[in-house]
């Protein structure tokens, strides 16, 4: 049933009817895709919200189940990427306090996780490369090479206070850029 724009009440009823009809089937799909019931329920709820907001873009009711499942799969993929990214997002965590995906054995890492890791690695490299040179060099020496604040200051001929300030700004910019990429709810 094609929808005429502008009738919010009809859109709400249409959505409610279609959601009730198809949400159980999509939930079962998401259990398989996401791997557990809790994530599947969270994914379904977020997908339903997204579908509700965009219901007027759905041209035919027959496509609702496939459309909702596609939205849910995208949400699940983003959830997995976010979970895989969490250790990497702890850019200002103390050494040894964040778990690392790299510490998993090959048997524990699925091909999907490997693909996500590679994509994340590339995106993080791009984010670091986008930093202004003065922030990038401090970030690289402190967080990548693991030099102390004192060693970094000495190598770059800066004060320790300047190193700390630049590192803080570099981490904030990276976190902002990565949040924009991975935590965007749109």
| pLDDT per position as a tens digit, 51-77 | 898 888 888 889 999 999 999 988 888
Q: Tell me: pLDDT of 1 over 50.
A: no
What DSSP line would sit under 131-167, residue for residue? S-HHHHHHHIIIIIS---HHHHHHHHT--HHHHHHHH
Each residue's pLDDT tens digit, 3-23 = 444 566 688 888 899 999 999
Q: Do domains 8-89 and 112-182 have the same CATH topology?
A: no
pTM: 0.47
Higher local confidence (pLDDT), 14 or 183:
14
Say yes or no to pLDDT of 78 above 90. Answer: no
Q: Residue 96 — left, alpha, or beta (φ > 0 → left; ψ -120 to 50 → alpha)?
A: left
Q: Which CATH architecture has domain 112-182?
A: Orthogonal Bundle (1.10)
Distances (CA, A) of 127 to 9, 85, 92, 102, 117: 44, 14, 15, 20, 15
User: 171 to each of 75, 105, 124, how far by Cα in Å?
Assistant: 27, 29, 12
> Do the Cβ atoms of 134 and 124 come closer than 8 Å?
no
How confident is the model over 98-144, as pLDDT tens digits? 444 444 444 555 676 677 667 777 777 888 888 999 999 998 888 88
- The domains of the chain are located at 8-89, 112-182
The DSSP secondary-structure symbol of 55 reads G
Report the candidate in 109, 162, 176, 111 with the shortest Cα–Cα distance to residue 134.
162
> Under DSSP, is residue 77 helix (H, G, I), strand (E, B) or coil?
helix
Q: Which CATH number fits domain 8-89: 3.30.830.10, 1.10.1740.10, 2.102.10.10, 3.40.30.10?
A: 1.10.1740.10
């Amino acid at each position: 049933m094609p929808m005429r724009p502008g009738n919010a009440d009809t859109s709400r009823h249409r959505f409610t009817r279609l959601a009730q009809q198809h949400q159980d089937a999509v939930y079962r799909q998401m259990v398989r895709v996401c791997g557990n019931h809790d994530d599947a329920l969270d994914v379904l709820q977020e997908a339903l919200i997204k579908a509700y907001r965009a219901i007027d873009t759905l041209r035919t009711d027959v496509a609702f189940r496939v459309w909702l499942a596609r939205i849910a799969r995208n949400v699940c993929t983003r959830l997995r990427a976010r979970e895989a990214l969490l250790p990497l997002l702890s850019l200002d965590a103390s050494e040894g306090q964040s778990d690392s995906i790299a510490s998993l054995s090959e048997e524990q890492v699925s091909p999907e996780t490997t693909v996500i890791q590679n994509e994340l690695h590339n995106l993080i490299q791009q984010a670091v490369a986008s930093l202004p040179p003065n922030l990038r060099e401090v970030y690289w020496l402190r967080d990548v090479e693991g030099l102390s604040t004192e060693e970094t200051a000495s190598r770059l001929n800066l004060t320790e206070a300047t190193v700390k300030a630049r590192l803080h700004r570099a981490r904030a910019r990276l976190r902002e850029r990565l949040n924009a990429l991975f935590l965007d709810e749109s």
